């Protein structure tokens, strides 16, 4: 079980992606890799009624997601080498790059697409919750960078008091992996499995 998790306030996030770039900077990530991604989720219709009046139920909202360090982590379950493991001190899920063979099983299985195989590095890469900083009693860089203070990080018990376990579109049903991401959903947040809505920035996040 993880000790720590992320917090996300959907009522504050502006989808500015400062978290994404702070993370890319700290982890020196190349094009094609981002441990944190901001999903822009858009849907609804604009319609004209018989009298010519136009009405709209269009919406868009953003969700900033990294690895959720899930309690029921499918990446750890399927990993043939045990490279994908939980740090015994922090409970954060990390990749042991000296053991990983880069088979991509974690990347295939994770419904949040958190791990990805970096063939140039020869192993899987993903958000480790800034495990090094946490051990120094500091916060992850994405949290520090967020200009609207929409992101948080802390002990699960504290996060549970602030929000609900993430269970909104376009993310999967929480019961699959029990993510350690707690959120305050925005007014427009839609339930998992919503139709008539889509990820508006697929090239940026998938």
Partner 1 sequence: MEHAFAELPLATFSTLSSLGAGAFVVLALAFLSGSLGDSLAGSPEKLKKIDRLAIIPILLVGAGFIAAMFHLATPQNALNALNGIGRSPLTNEVVVGLAFMVVALVYWVVALIGKLGAGARKILVSVAAVLAIAFALFIGIAYMIPTIPTWNTLFAPISILGYCLLGGGLFGLLVLQAADALKDISTGPFKAFTISLSLIGAAAAIIGIGGQYLVASGIEAASHQVAAAWPWLIGSIAGLVLALGLAIIPLIRKPSLGIISLGCLVVLCSVFVGRLVFYALYITVGV
Applying CB under 8 A, the residues found at the interface with partner 1 are: 39, 74, 77-83, 99-105, 108-113, 117-119, 121-124, 170-173, 176-177, 195, 199, 205-206
Do residues 29 and 13 touch, judged by C-beta distance below 8 A? no
> What is the Cα–Cα distance from 180 to 126, expressed in whole angstroms?
15
Closest CB to partner 1 among residues 103, 139: 103
Which residue bears the tokens 């602030």?
Answer: 162
Q: What is the CA radius of gyration of the chain?
A: 18
Closest CB to partner 1 among residues 134, 168: 168
User: Can you say whether the dihedral through the CA atoms of 133, 62, 167, 102 is positive or negative?
Assistant: negative
Min separation Cβ 188 and partner 1, Å? 18
Min separation Cβ 121 and partner 1, Å? 8
> What is the Cα–Cα distance from 162 to 47, expressed in whole angstroms?
38
Min separation Cβ 169 and partner 1, Å? 10
Min separation Cβ 107 and partner 1, Å? 10
């Amino acid at each position: 079980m993880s000790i720590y998790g992320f917090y996300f306030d959907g009522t504050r996030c502006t989808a500015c992606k400062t978290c994404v770039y702070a993370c890319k900077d700290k982890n020196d990530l190349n094009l094609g890799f981002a441990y944190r991604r901001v999903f822009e989720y858009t849907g609804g219709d604009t319609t004209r009624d018989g009298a010519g009046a136009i009405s709209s139920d269009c919406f868009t909202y953003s969700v900033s997601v990294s690895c959720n360090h899930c309690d029921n982590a499918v990446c750890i379950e399927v990993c043939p080498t045990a490279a994908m493991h939980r740090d015994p001190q922090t409970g954060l899920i990390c990749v042991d790059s000296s053991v990983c063979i880069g088979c991509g099983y974690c990347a295939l299985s994770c419904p949040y697409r958190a791990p990805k195989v970096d063939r140039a590095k020869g192993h899987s890469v993903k958000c480790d919750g800034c495990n090094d900083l946490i051990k120094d009693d500091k916060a992850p860089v994405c949290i520090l960078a967020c200009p609207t203070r929409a992101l948080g990080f802390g002990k699960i018990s504290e996060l549970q008091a602030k929000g609900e376990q993430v269970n909104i579109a376009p993310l999967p049903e929480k019961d699959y992996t029990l993510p350690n991401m707690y959120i305050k959903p925005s007014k427009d947040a839609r339930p998992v499995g919503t139709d008539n809505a889509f990820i508006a920035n697929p090239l940026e996040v998938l």
